[in-house]
Structure 1
Amino acid sequence: MAATPVRVAVRWKLLAAFAGAFTLVFGFIAVWAVENASKTALEQVTLQLTSAATGVARIIDPEEFEQLVTTVPAVPDPSLPGGLGYPPSPLYVSVADALRQLTDVVPESQPYSYFRDAGDGQLYFAASAGYFGDPQYGVTFRQPVREVSEPDTRLRMAEGLGGTVVEPPYTDAFGSWVSVYTPILSSTGGSVGAVGVDYPLDYVQSVEKEARAAVFPILGAAYLALLLLVLLVSTMVVRPLRRLTDATQRIADGEYELDVRSLVHSRFPDELYELGESFQVMAAKVAAREKSLTSEVQRLRVQIDHQKREQAVKEITETDFFADLEAKAATLRARMHEPDPPEVSESPDEPPAT
C-alpha cells in the first residue's frame, strides 16, 4: 500500500522558497558589507602608511644614514633577544628620532630602517623608533633581517630598497601586519637604505567587528520583516484558494447551485475570480450532464427490464416441460373441436327417431 504523502500548505511552501532566496541575498549583502568595510579600512591604512613612510624617508639625512651603517659597529647586549643593542651614537639617535615622528602621525605603527650590507649582501636593521620606548622595543642595530622575517617579507624589503612596496596582510611570530617599505635616496638618486613601517591589523579587525555589529542586526531585522510580509501576503493569497477548495468539495458532493464567484469576490477581478467563474460554469455543466445521465440511466433501466422479461419468457417457453405442456394443450383444443358421436338407443326394438 502506497504511503500517504505529507501535506504541506502552499503558504509554507512560499515562505520556505522566499526564506531561501532572502537567505542567499542577505548573506551576500552581509559578506559584501563586511568585506567592503575591511577592504576600505585596509586601503586607508595602507595609504596613510605609504604617505607617512615616504615623508619620513625624505626627512632622514641620507649622508648621516650612510655614515651610520658604514661606520658605527654593532653593540652586543646579551640581555636582548637578538644579542645586540642600541649604539650610543648621535647618528643613530638622529635617524631614530625621525622615525619616532612617524609614530606621532600613526600611533600604532612600528617604523624602522634597514640597509643591505655591501660586504655580504644581506639585509640588516638600522635605527628603530622603539629606541625611544620605555621599555625599549623593536629591532636592534645591525640585527640580521633573516632572524625575524619570513622569506616573502625579506623579498619585499629588498624590493623596497629600489621603490615603495606595500606588503599585503600577513602573519608571523609577532602577530598580523600590513607593511610598507620605501627607499632612502641620496642626492644622486641612489638608495642608501630604506624605511619600513609595520602596522598591526588590529584596527582592520576592529573595523570588521564594528561592521558586523552594525550590519548584522539591521539585515536580521529586515530579514524577519520580509519573512513576516511574505507570510501575510501568502495567507491573503491562499485564503481564497482555500475557499475555492471547499467549494469544489461541496460541488463534488452535489451542491451544483453553489455561487462560487461570491467566494472569491474582489473589487478588482483577478485570476482567482476568473477561476471561480470557471468553476461556476463547470458546476452548471456537471449538473446538466448529471441530469442527462440520470434520464439516460432510467431509460436504459426500463429497456433492460423489458429485455430481461423477454429473455425470461423465452427461457421458459424453450424448455421441454413447456413444449410438452403446449402439446397437451393443443390436443385438448383439438378434442374440444371434434363433433359429438350419435346417440345409440337403449331398446333394440324401438325404431330410430325421425
Structure 2
Amino acid sequence: MTRYAIDDACNALVASWSTGIGDAAAVVTELPRTELDRQQLRRLAADLTALSQLCWRSYTHPASAADQHGPDSVGRRRQQERDAFATVLPLLIDAGQAAGEPVGTKVGRAAQAVARTLRSLDTPQLTTQIAADVATELAAVEQAELGDLSDRAEQAVALSREDASPLQISQADTLLRADPFGCPALLTQIDPAAAAVAAAHWFHAAVTVAARQAGLHPIQVVASAEQHGKPLAVESLTEIASFITAGGRPRHVVMPLIRTALNVGEGHLRGITGLHERVTAARELLDKTHTDHPDLDLSPDTVHVPLTPLNPARPAPDLLDNLLNGMQTCWHTYQHSRRDELPREQLRHAFLTAVRQEAHAQGERLL
C-alpha cells in the first residue's frame, strides 16, 4: 500500500511505497503557505494511508479467491468493496456527500473520512491535488489486477495475494528458466504469490536432481537446508517438496500456505484441523522430550506452537525467499556429491542443465 506523510521541512504531502527492493517516494502536492492546521494535515495523511490499504486489500483478497459466493457471502462483500472504487472520487469532490450518512462499504467510508478532512481544511487546490493522486492510486490497483506491476503498481510486489495470476506464473517461470537461482526482476516485477508458485516448481526440480545425484531421498535434501536463522523455513520447503513429489501441483500447496499465513496475520485461523495437527505434534514432541530428558522441567504452557511457517506480515515474499534459498541448498548438495574434478563453473552448468531438463519434463503441472 501507499503510505502518506507530511514533510514539514519541504511543506509538502509525500507518498511512498515499497518496490520489492527499497521504497519509492513522490511529492503529492506542496502545501499552501497559509497556516493550515498541522494536526489536520497529519490526519489527512493517515486517512489517505487507510484508504490505500483498503483499496489494495481488494487486490490481495479478490472476490474470485473467496470460498463462498452469493448473498451476504465473503465473495459478495469483497465484490462490493471492489465496486466501491467507483464511488471514491465523487466522495472526495462532493462536500455534501462527505457530510452525509456513512456509506455501506469500508472503502467508501475511508474515502468519506478523507473528504471530511479536506472539507475542514477548506483548500480547493489541495482537494484537487488529493483527488488526482487518489485516482492514480486506484489506477495502480487496477493495473496490478491486470498483471502489470510497473510504475506505481510495482508496490504489489511487496504484497501477498490470495490468488495467483496464470500470466504472472508463466512470466516468473520464464525468468527462472533463464536463472533458476532467481534474479532482481523476479522480486521487482512479479507478484510474489505467482513467483512462489513458479519457484516451487523449480525448487522441486532442483531437489529431484540433487537427490538423484547424491543418492538421497528428496526430503533429506530439504532437511539439510540452512535458512539463515529461519528454522520454520525448512517446514515450508518440506511441505512443498512432499506435496509435489506425491504428484501435486505447486499452486495447490503454495496458495494454502500463503492464505493460512494471511489469516494468522489477521488474528485467526480458518478451520481447526491444521491447528489440531500442530498441537498434537507439539504434545508428541513434549512427551518425547520428557522421556529423553526426564530432568528437564517443561510444562505444556511453556511450549510455543507456531501457527504458520511463514511470516504472517509478508507470507508470499517470505516463501519466495525460502524457495530461492532452498535452490542454493540443492546446488550445494549436488556439488558436494560429485566425485569428479570438474571446475566449479562446469559443475554449476551441469546442475542448471539438469534442473532445466527436469523442470521442462514436469512442466505440465505448473499451470
Scaled by the length of structure 1, the TM-score of the pair is 0.23
Would you tell me which structure has more helix in proportion to its own residues? 2
TM-score, normalization by structure 2: 0.22
In terms of fraction of residues, the more strand-rich structure is 1
Larger-Rg structure: 1
